[in-house]
Structure 1
């Protein structure tokens, strides 16, 4: 039987011709880039098949991510629920302590401290200057913000307002080298001055005598001196104490309580009588 494959040149000649044609095509493609447009066309033609072939892997990956995210949300929800229970228990004790403190102050004829006005703010920008620790928030004069107003987060004192605009303000962080805050130790009520180091996770205590009673782990809170920060708010914890007798003072390093490198939502505090002029001026300008 005479088939089509037995007609024409022999198989050896066909193989040699195919090799020669392949070599020519490889040379033209590699050296002369003669098939660039053809490759683009072929890639465009094959790309739907590639997406289709990759679809099962994408679906499995997205499903795994969704399951992981769902489980993470469940774990976070459970953890937050536990924290809410703990905080509610602490709040109950706190309320009773406040009432007891107020009764004692009334017995001693000491004025009862009024609750501070507060307002939430959000971070807008961070100063890019590596030698300055400042941030920009979305509250300004129209909201009653005033110079040197204390700013905190959910962990402790963040800093104070240094510039006030109409709708935003600039906050100087406690870690800035130009910032200082009077503090006291919760353990023994000794007072210090904490200054910024220029690093977000470190501050120093100034002029600490070698004989002073201070230990690693001591919690420092605002003392209320200077009338800028209200007393009792967490500021820092003692990280290291170095007593070198060749130096006039002990070297004390502390870590800020506020998460200065992860700021997002902040809280502005109004001291008694502060910021009222700014609010009145803002309201007057709005009426005009």
Structure 2
């Protein structure tokens, strides 16, 4: 039987012919660029296939970038949120420090005006019992604090020390129901007693005759008659003057000048004689020179 197809060129000849053809095409394209149009046409025809084949990879890359960007934005947002909270907290601290500096300047200015030996103390706690007006400060007998020592803020008298331990003391405020303070009206020198009522913004003046010259707005200052509070410290201002038919005395109510419910620092005062004051000032100056 004869074969169905005639036998063609040998494989070796085919390889040689293909290599020669490829070499010729390379030389022709390199020297004369005759195949540029063919290459462009083939690239145009194969672009959709390349684009479709590249889409899965491009989609994966785009998704990763978006996820990474979203994650980075979330991390950056959380970091900025934390920084914002920290900055706000620091701002609050700065505002608190500024307010504290203002209060301390007021206290120091008040101590210079008093011309007495003073120590600044900070209020640690307050008494929460009804009608009990007491606070605890962070100075005690180690700082020279003694029972009965006058206590002031930057504005006026606050009270006196009733208990003292080595590192803290309890101050009875002038509004406590058990506290009474000799005072006088600064306008006319009328002497009386300012008694606490148990209310934080109220004092009552005792035994005021009905014909006494007392007016709303009068400033009450310490009279010094008790030998404990030096004379001339502001105490309160008269707010109410009322005549009651059933009361043989005039009802007079006054509001403390000190910020009893707001002050955080207080002054512990020593009532020094002129000689003692000079000795204290000389001792302070010697300590200052020694520290330098």
What residue is the counterpart of 2:156 in the other structure?
Answer: 156
For 2:140 and 2:159, locate their aligned partners in 1 and report how far apart those are by CA, in whole Å.
Answer: 16
Q: After alignment, is 157-166 or 48-57 more displaced?
A: 48-57
Which runs of 5 or more residues in structure 1 are unaligned? 1-47, 95-113, 277-288
Tell me how far 1:50 sits from its aligned partner. 11
For 2:227 and 2:179, locate their aligned partners in 1 and report how far apart those are by CA, in whole Å.
Answer: 15
For 1:253 and 1:158, locate their aligned partners in 2 and report how far apart those are by CA, in whole Å.
Answer: 17
What residue is the counterpart of 2:229 in the other structure?
Answer: 229
TM-score, structure 2 as length reference: 0.57
Secondary structure at 2:142 match in 1: helix
Tell me how far 1:136 sits from its aligned partner. 0.5
CA gap 1:193/1:57 in 2 versus in 1, 3 angstroms: same
Tell me how far 1:269 sits from its aligned partner. 0.5
Question: Would you say 1:139 and 2:139 are equivalent positions?
Answer: yes
Q: Deviations over 1:130-158 (max 9, x none)?
A: 23111101111111111100000001000
Secondary structure at 2:261 match in 1: helix
Q: Which aligned runs of 4 or more in structure 1 are off by greater than 6 angstroms? A: 48-57
What residue is the counterpart of 1:183 in the other structure?
Answer: 183
For 2:196 and 2:72, locate their aligned partners in 1 and report how far apart those are by CA, in whole Å.
Answer: 60
What residue is the counterpart of 2:120 in the other structure?
Answer: 120
Secondary structure at 2:125 match in 1: strand
For 2:164 and 2:227, locate their aligned partners in 1 and report how far apart those are by CA, in whole Å.
Answer: 19
For 1:194 and 1:231, locate their aligned partners in 2 and report how far apart those are by CA, in whole Å.
Answer: 14
What residue is the counterpart of 1:204 in the other structure?
Answer: 204
Q: Deviations over 1:82-114 (max 9, x none)?
A: x99xx8xxx9xx8xxxxxxxxxxxxxxxxxxx9
Question: Would you say 1:255 and 2:258 are equivalent positions?
Answer: no
What residue is the counterpart of 1:165 in the other structure?
Answer: 165
For 1:203 and 1:269, locate their aligned partners in 2 and report how far apart those are by CA, in whole Å.
Answer: 22
1:1-288 matched pairs, under 5 angstroms: 115-272=115-272
Tell me how far 1:117 sits from its aligned partner. 1.0
For 1:238 and 1:206, locate their aligned partners in 2 and report how far apart those are by CA, in whole Å.
Answer: 13
Q: Deviations over 1:216-261 (max 9, x none)?
A: 1001010111011111110000010111222111111100000111
For 1:159 and 1:189, locate their aligned partners in 2 and report how far apart those are by CA, in whole Å.
Answer: 22
CA gap 1:195/1:50 in 2 versus in 1, 3 angstroms: farther
Which runs of 5 or more residues in structure 2 are unaligned? 1-70, 277-292
Pair member with larger Rg: 2
TM-score, structure 1 as length reference: 0.58
For 2:88 and 2:269, locate their aligned partners in 1 and report how far apart those are by CA, in whole Å.
Answer: 41
Equivalenced residue count is 195
For 2:136 and 2:247, locate their aligned partners in 1 and report how far apart those are by CA, in whole Å.
Answer: 39
Tell me how far 1:271 sits from its aligned partner. 1.7
Secondary structure at 1:123 match in 2: strand
Q: Deviations over 1:151-177 (max 9, x none)?
A: 000010000000010111110000000
For 2:213 and 2:193, locate their aligned partners in 1 and report how far apart those are by CA, in whole Å.
Answer: 15
Tell me how far 1:192 sits from its aligned partner. 1.1
CA gap 1:161/1:54 in 2 versus in 1, 3 angstroms: same
The alignment's C-alpha RMSD in Å is: 3.6
Tell me how far 1:115 sits from its aligned partner. 3.8
CA gap 1:56/1:120 in 2 versus in 1, 3 angstroms: closer
